[in-house]
Structures are given as C-alpha cells and as structure tokens.
Amino acid sequence: MDYAMMKNSRELFEAAKKRIPGGVNSPVRAFRGVGGEPFFVKSAKGCRLTTVEGRELIDFVGTWGPAILGHAAEPVIEAVREAAKGGLSFGTPNPFEVEMAETICRMVPSVEKVRMVNSGTEATMSCIRLARGFTGRNKIIKFEGCYHGHVDSLLVKAGSGALTHGHPDSAGVPEELAKLTVTLPFNDLPAVEAAFAANSGEIAAIILEPVPANAGLYLPLPGFLQGLRDLCTREGTVLIFDEVMTVFRLARGGAQEIFKITPDLTAMGKVIGGGLPVGAFGGRAEIMDRLSPDGPVYQAGTLSGNPLAMAAGLAQLRELERIDGWAHLEKTGATFEAATRAACANRPLTFQRIGSMFCLYFQEGPVRHLAEAMSSDRARFAKFFHGCLEDGVYFAPSQFEAGFLSTAHTPADLETVAAVVEKNLARVF
C-alpha cells in the first residue's frame, strides 16, 4: 500500500497503530494530553502546515523549535539540495562539520570546543558522562519539570511528554541509577545549597534548562542562574546548560547570552540542523579534551556531523545573521504577546514569553516552577486547543509544551490568530 498517497489522517493513524507503538514515533504527537487523534501532514511552507486532507494550519509548533525561519526556507532547502549532490553520508570527516564547529564557537563564547551528535538526547547524555569522567563523581542535580531527552538518569521528574502522559518517571530506569540523580524545584537556590551540603564532594554536575520549556515556559528568577554558577565554581561541579531549544533561538548565544551566565558545558540542537536530525555539545576545552580519542570518556556516532544536517544548519544560521532574525523575532513576539494578553484580559490565564517562545497557562499566575505549572486547567486547555485547531491554528497539543514563533509569521497571520484565540477563549470561559 502507498501510504504517502492516503488522504485521511484517521486511516493513517489506524494503520500506524498496528506497527508503531501508540501510532507515533514520539509520545506527545499522540494527542493524549488533549484527547482526540493526531492529524498527518503532507507538506509545510513558511508558517503553515498542510494536512493530508488538504487543510492549511497556521503553525506555532515549528517542528518543536527548529523551524525558526519557517518551514522549507529556501536558503535551507537549497543548501540541502546542493549538499545531497555530493552524497548523503560518508562516515569520515567532511568540511561542513568544521565550519559548523567554528560557527558555534564564534556564536556561543562559552564553547571552546564542540562535538556534533544526532539528537538533543545524545547531547545531554554525553554531557553527563563527560562531567562524571571529568570530576570522578557520580551524582547529578537536575530540576523538576526540566526535560533533557530520554536519558535514563534524567527521566526523573521530567517534563515534556512525561508530564503530558502523567508519568514523570519512566519504567525501565533502574532505581539504583535514579538514586544518583538529585531532583530539586526550579528557582529554589536554598534547596540546591542544601543538596550540596548533604552530598558533599559527590555532585559531578548540575544540568538544567536555563529557560525551562518542557513544562510550559517559565523563567529563572533574578539571581538563580548566577547562584548556580557560583555554587558550581565553589564545589568543583560542572554546570551544564541544556540549550537544545534556546540556543540560536532566543539569541545568537542563547539564554546564556541573555542572562550573562557562562556554563561549563552546553547541550545544543534544533536550530543547528535546519530541520534535520542533529545535536551538539561543547564547552571548556579542558573538559572537552577528556573525550575519546584524546581522553578516556568514550562517545561516538556513525552519522554525527552528517553533511546534509550541517549544510542545512549553516544555511539557517547564516540567514538569521543576514536578516538580524533575533531582532525580527523579538518584535514578532512582542506583537503576539500584546494581542494574546488583550484576549486574556479578566480571565484566569497566565501568558509567559521570552523572545520567540511562549506559553499560555490556563491558571492565574505567576508560574515559576513545576508545582505551579501543574495547577493549570488541562480540560479547558484541551477544549481551547481543539477549537483553535478547528479554526486553522495549531498550538502544541499539551499544556506543558512551549510554543514557537518564526520569521515567517506575518502581522496578518498574527491578526488572524488573535481573533481565533479570542473566539476560543470566549468558548471555554
């Protein structure tokens, strides 16, 4: 059967469920957080998706972050087309990965050396292993609601789909391994200080999303990130920023540029692949030099530095710099925020945004950590989500996911969306 020619999302989903667990290859796509069934996409261009039924949707998911120029941006497509002429993969070094390494180190000053991988999960997993190898310690600190991919030691009170489906911890994670992960509330510096006191000389790393975007979106309180930096410096602990979502999206240098904090290691992904599978991690040279083949910490990947992914990411980063995309996105974000706040007026809602990322919580704020995020009215959110989808606007199918703007969203698009948001908020309140 030619599934690519099927014109019905329901039929495709039924076929998928027979061969793919849950019918999806990543859990949040299953719509379990909002009910109903997912739609299938046949193409995307700019800020719009086209379903297999031919419906057009204004998209605020953006491939969960990479589509910062919108879908199928011409410079990215052309770069992939040209790279593909030379071959899809070599299993040997290629010039694109050297240029990508130079570009990352130029744009993110905390990164002195970098290694390419194939996903954000690989990046965070490698950061943890490297931090343990560098320090000779085993324990790590993470924060409730921060999702760092499906790494065993990091699936403890995680965010993203783990929250959407009501299972903050995953089956298959050994209790003995989970005991090496100290999980704390985000924005609670005294709790971090207490954890260091209780585990003196044992903490290899602190890993966090400097802007948590997998339990919705909330921001670090003043002094929190600097406090973590100071504690890590004092204790000889590696500070890891998971900027898979935020680096090259919030600013050239990501959240660490905005908040003026220098981590020891940074996990990266999303934007640097232009929509193709990618990840990277980098940081201080003395830590990165512990990696094989120079050091004893092993990490490898057949497709790491894939020429198509590197070419796509480089084209996207060049275009962002050419058009000053971050200033454009901040302006778009401010316009979207003003319209959304006007629609939310006098309703128990909290809208939070930084740059081109946002979340509308169905509760009165503020939202500063996971416990507050979990108070959201998920039933109302689900009703709102489906109403917007029916009206041609696609927000993330979970209360606990961030939304993403792109340079392809126009003022006219935002006016259309503002009307849809107002209409559907009126329906649910």
Longest alpha-carbon distance in the chain: 62
Q: Which domains does the chain have, with CATH numbers?
A: 3-72+324-428 (3.90.1150.10), 74-321 (3.40.640.10)
User: What distance in Å separates the CA atoms of residue 219 and residue 351, rounded to the nearest whole number?
Assistant: 12
pLDDT tens track, the chain, 429 positions: 777 777 799 999 999 999 999 999 998 899 999 999 999 999 999 999 999 999 999 999 999 999 999 999 999 999 999 999 999 999 999 999 999 999 999 999 999 999 999 999 999 999 999 999 999 999 999 999 898 988 877 776 654 554 444 444 667 777 777 788 899 999 999 999 999 999 999 999 999 999 999 999 999 999 999 999 999 999 999 999 999 999 999 999 999 999 999 999 999 999 999 999 999 999 999 999 999 999 999 999 999 999 999 999 999 999 999 999 999 999 999 999 999 999 999 999 999 999 999 999 999 989 999 999 999 999 999 999 999 999 999 999 999 999 999 999 999 999 999 999 999 999 999
Closest CA to 68 of 331, 255, 245, 212: 245
DSSP E strand stretches across 21-65: 41-45, 48-51, 56-59
User: What distance in Å separates the CA atoms of residue 246 and residue 101, rounded to the nearest whole number?
Assistant: 18
CB 368 within 8 A of CB 221: yes
Sign of the torsion angle spanned by Cα atoms 72, 75, 78, 82: negative
CB 280 within 8 A of CB 116: yes
User: What distance in Å separates the CA atoms of residue 320 and residue 49, rounded to the nearest whole number?
Assistant: 22
Active site residue 270: yes
Contacts of 76 (CB under 8 A, 6+ apart): 69, 274, 275, 312, 315, 316, 319
Q: Exactly one of 242, 264, 394, 413 is catalytic; which is it?
A: 242
Instruction: Name residue 194's amino acid.
Output: A
User: What distance in Å separates the CA atoms of residue 428 and residue 382, rounded to the nearest whole number?
Assistant: 10
Q: What is the pTM of this model?
A: 0.95
Q: Exactly one of 270, 361, 394, 413 is catalytic; which is it?
A: 270
Active site residue 42: no
Side-chain half-sphere exposure of 73, counting CA atoms within 13 A: 28
Residue 412's Cβ-count burial label (10 Å; 0-12, 13-18, 19+) is exposed
- The CA R_g of the chain, rounded to the nearest whole Å, is 21
- Taking each continuous run of H as one helix and of E as one strand, the counts in the chain are 15, 14
Residue 314's Cβ-count burial label (10 Å; 0-12, 13-18, 19+) is buried
Active site residue 423: no
Q: Exactly one of 113, 139, 142, 147 is catalytic; which is it?
A: 147
